[in-house]
Amino acid sequence: MELKIENLSKTYANGVQALKNISLNISNGMFGLLGPNGAGKSTLMRIIATLQDSDTGSVYFRGIEVKNNKPKIRKILGYLPQDFGLDPQIEAIELLNHFAILKGISNKSQRKQLINELLNQTNLWDSRNKRLGSFSGGMKQRFGIAQALIGNPQLLIVDEPTAGLDPGERNRFHNLLSEIGENIVIMLSTHIVDDVTDLCKNMAIINKGEVYFNGKPSDILNSLQGKIWIKEIDKTGIHQYSDKYKILSTRLFDGQMLVRVYSEGSPHVSFSNCEPNLEDAYFYTINGVNSNLQ
């Protein structure tokens, strides 16, 4: 395994236990870390990115222990944090140049070539001389990936990159991530299930600082095969259902309510069986009834 996370725990000074003995094994390719807000995703990402220390446990990237080898790890790391503060007055190309200098790319023509490549790769070439303050949310995130890719990172950490993007921008961002390549570890944290569905071959679900599931999306989906049931109901009658059935989600469609229910067998003749999706798996896991999947 390329990235090994062993027994990480972290308690903040205010007493919040953000990580409780987290262990994960992560191979090359895109890994999705899925969990609700407050689950501990950013804390875990910051520890891997050398920006914060855990209280106990270790992280190894390709055999290098992270906490005691921060400079070495930083050389092969790309990081897009959740809150990426950018000086609104600076032009995109100017700031990329600055980041490239900080990353140690001292040769001017080499730097220029790299920056041009990154601007093209992230579809920002036409906006290279625009100030960052004029960028849309999606452009800012693509710029964030451009800076994270400087220096050819072997480990790319992207923290909640699609939060706040509109569907078109999210799509462009997904395409960009999917083109980065399978030979490095890309760790993507998100609370949006579709990010993982679209992009990740491997995933973990974390909640309340603990790993609830670690494996392939297909594993978790297979385990729910035949156990997801659906019914259209009148929305005023939802209370009758929530008392009787294990409701995973409800969705309004054409003024009617569509309920998705977990049940080993048919809950009632009025329900139809349907294909599980990752959102079913996520809610099932998070709601604490999924102990057989860990």
**Cβ nearer to ligand ADP, comparing 15 with 104:** 15
251 phi and psi angles, rounded to 5 deg: -145, 135
**Cβ nearer to ligand ADP, comparing 12 with 222:** 12
Q: How far is the CB of 135 from ligand ADP (least distance, A)?
A: 24
DSSP 95-123: HHHHHHHHTT---HHHHHHHHHHHHHHTT
CB 138 within 8 A of CB 172: yes
**Cβ nearer to ligand ADP, comparing 16 with 274:** 16
Q: How far is the CB of 14 from ligand ADP (least distance, A)?
A: 5
175 phi and psi angles, rounded to 5 deg: -60, -40
Q: How far is the CB of 176 from ligand ADP (least distance, A)?
A: 22
Q: How far is the CB of 56 from ligand ADP (least distance, A)?
A: 16
β 210-215/64-65 pair status: unpaired
In eight-state DSSP terms, residue 200 is -
Which H or E element spans position 9? Answer: strand 3-11
**Cβ nearer to ligand ADP, comparing 160 with 198:** 160
- Site residues (vs ligand ADP, CB under 6 A): 12, 14, 16, 18, 35, 37-43
**Number of alpha carbons in the 13 Å side-chain half-sphere of residue 37:** 2
In eight-state DSSP terms, residue 109 is H
CB 41 within 8 A of CB 159: yes
**Cβ nearer to ligand ADP, comparing 43 with 50:** 43
Residue labelled with tokens 């000074």: 13
Q: How far is the CB of 265 from ligand ADP (least distance, A)?
A: 35
